[in-house]
Amino acid sequence: MCWQPLVAARPSRAFSLFLGLVLATSVALAAPVPGHQSLSALEVSIATAISPIQADLLDAALDRARRDGNDMVLLVLDTPGGSIDVMRRMVKAMLASPLPIVVWVAPSGARAASAGVFLVAAATVAAMAPQTTIGSASPVGPGGGDIKGTMNAKIQNDLQSLLRGLVTRNDRNVGWYMRSITKAANLDALEAAQSRVIDFVAMDRTDLFAQLGKRGLTMASGVTTHFTAADVLVQTYATGLRHGILSWLLDPQIAYILLLLGLAGLYFELTTPGAILPGVIGSLSLLLALYALSVLPTNTAGLLLLLLGAVFFVLELFITSFGLLGLAGLASFLLGSMLLFRGDGLGGLPLGLVLPTVLGLAGLLGFMGYLVAKAQLRRPVSGVAALAGQTATVRHWQGTSGKVFINGELWQARSATPLTLAPGQTVVVTGRDDMTLEVEGDSALPAA
């Protein structure tokens, strides 16, 4: 009689054991894999020369990443370099950031030159895409030339001291970084990875995060975390309208075109007073260009040559030079354009932009000068001066004076010799003395 409850209890215990196994398995599957976790990265791109606008962009991105709780910042870099002072400001911001900063020189064909070398050196982790380059951190003068003597030694020593501290901090190749300053050394991505100038070469973002997660990344908490590429959620930092406009304005090619447009607008206003629109557009363009020139590495000699070229074209209107002043203006424009931007990673404007722009502007200014000169030589078609050579009808005449009617107006007239004229006959206007017309008899008509 006692075996029935025992038989009934066995299925209940088996079910409980099965349910426990299912729950344990669910918990095990739901538990995170040790050393892996979901991470977020804020991506910001700098693909132009280093300027105060780029420093503002980096500051804003780092602040945004900290406020939004991102785990890391990915800086995608492609720069020819820029101002030393601005570079120092960006390096200070990177060093002060509590978040790890990964610098990736990309895409293929990009470079981290001049000031960009320091940004790579300051990165928590540095990577490059294939077919990219790094180097040429030697300081140059404001005009793009070499700095001589003691000043060169002072600047190089200062930059070497900064770079040595950055490289030592991240255990990279100190010797090569020093040569990038003293010898303007360069490396491609593969050579940089083999020489411990960077940490690794990454084909794309997936490859970047895969290698980064495998080697481990030390987070703001101080814990080194391993992860996979799938664990990283990448958010792109969207630049605002202000940054977009200023970045566009500080493009050397845009600044150059604005400068020439400003000079052309003022030239038109001087040659055709009262046109208003060319003067307004020219003044605005010139002011914007001057702002950009104050930020960009502008060669003073190049700027003065451009201004001298504009002066030559203005003088061409007032001095008979048989085109020599125009040719001098064209030569000044060409030389000034090629010298305008030198230094801080900029090797000058491309010839493919300079030649069409200068030739087009010179042709436009020359055509405008031709129209002005033609207008000055043309016989007036209105006003008192336009009466010369026209015929007037005699209303009253006696001896050497009388009244004549011309273009709907009655004028006092006189002649150098006595004329016998009857009303209705005509005379030819030869000039004017105050409000009196000077006339002579019209040979086409017989005298009365």
Is 93 contained in some domain? yes
Q: Are 404 and 437 in contact (CB under 8 A)?
A: yes
Q: Is residue 10 situated within a structural domain?
A: no
Residue where a domain terminates, one of 204, 219, 243 = 243
Pair 64, 146 in one domain: yes
What CATH number is attached to the domain comprising 143? 3.90.226.10
372 and 435 belong to one structural domain: no
CB 402 within 8 A of CB 396: yes
Q: Which domain holds residue 283?
A: 251-377
103 and 170 share a domain?
Answer: yes
Residues 219, 327 within the same domain: no
pLDDT for position 81: 86
What is the pLDDT at residue 20? 58
pLDDT of residue 375: 60
Domain boundary among 200, 223, 243: 243
Please give the tally of structural domains in the chain: 3
Q: Assign residue 434 the CATH number of its domain.
A: 2.40.50.140
Is the pLDDT score of 294 beyond 50?
yes
Q: What is the pLDDT of residue 364?
A: 79
SS3 216: coil
Are 158 and 141 found together in one domain?
Answer: yes
State the average pLDDT over residues 77-101: 92
Judge whether 30 lies within some domain: no
Residue range 214-258, pLDDT digits in tens: 999 999 888 999 999 999 999 999 887 777 788 788 888 898 999
Q: Tell me, what's the pLDDT at 249?
A: 85
Please check whether residues 262 and 370 belong to one and the same domain.
yes
Counting residues of the chain whose pLDDT is more than 70, the rounded percentage is 82
Do 85 and 152 lie in one domain? The reply is yes
Q: Is residue 337 part of a domain?
A: yes
DSSP, residue by residue, 120-163: HHH-SEEEE-TT-EEE------TTSSPP-HHHHHHHHHHHHHHH
Mark whether 157 and 95 lie in a shared domain. Answer: yes
Q: Are 90 and 54 in contact (CB under 8 A)?
A: yes
Per-residue pLDDT at 291: 87
178 with 314, same domain? no
DSSP string, 316-334: TTTS--TTHHHHHHHHHHH
Question: Does residue 233 lie within any of the structural domains?
Answer: yes
Mean pLDDT in residue range 335-342 = 84
Could you report the per-residue pLDDT of 249-288, keeping only the tens digit for each? 888 889 899 998 998 888 888 777 667 788 889 889 999 9
- The pLDDT, as a whole number, for residue 33 is 43
| Same domain flag for 219 and 359 | no
At residue 29's C-alpha, the angle toward residues 26 and 32, to 5°, is 130
Inside any domain, residue 92: yes
Mean pLDDT of 323-347: 79
Judgement on whether residues 330 and 437 belong to the same structural domain of the protein? no
Going by pLDDT thresholds of 50, 70 and 90, the confidence category of residue 140 is low
Question: Contact, 229 vs 200, CB < 8 A?
Answer: no
What integer pLDDT is reported at residue 35 of this predicted model? 45
Q: Are 339 and 305 in contact (CB under 8 A)?
A: yes
Which of 58-72, 157-171, 423-437 is least confident? Answer: 423-437
Q: What is the pLDDT of residue 137?
A: 84
Whether residue 71 is found in the same domain as residue 118: yes
The answer as to whether 4 is a domain residue is no
Is 448 contained in some domain? no
Kindly tell me the burial class for residue 391, based on how many C-beta atoms sit within 10 Å of its own C-beta (0-12, 13-18, 19 or more): middle
Sheet holding 101-105, edge to edge: 200-201, 125-128, 101-105, 72-77, 39-46, 232-236
Render pLDDT for 371-425 as a digit per residue (tens, 0 to 9): 666 665 555 555 556 677 788 999 989 888 999 998 878 888 999 888 888 888 9
Report yes or no on whether pTM surpasses 0.85. no
* 342 or 298, greater pLDDT: 298
What average pLDDT is seen over the chain?
A: 82
Could you give the CA distance from residue 401 to residue 415 in angstroms, rounded to a whole number?
Answer: 6
Q: Which of 362, 377, 392 is the last residue of a domain?
A: 377
Q: What is the mean pLDDT of residues 338-364?
A: 77
Distance CA 114, CA 48 (A): 12
**The tokens 């002043």 sit on which residue?**
325
Using the predicted structure, report yes or no on whether residue 25 has a pLDDT greater than 80: no
At 189, the amino acid letter reads A
pLDDT above 90 covers a percentage of the chain that reads 38
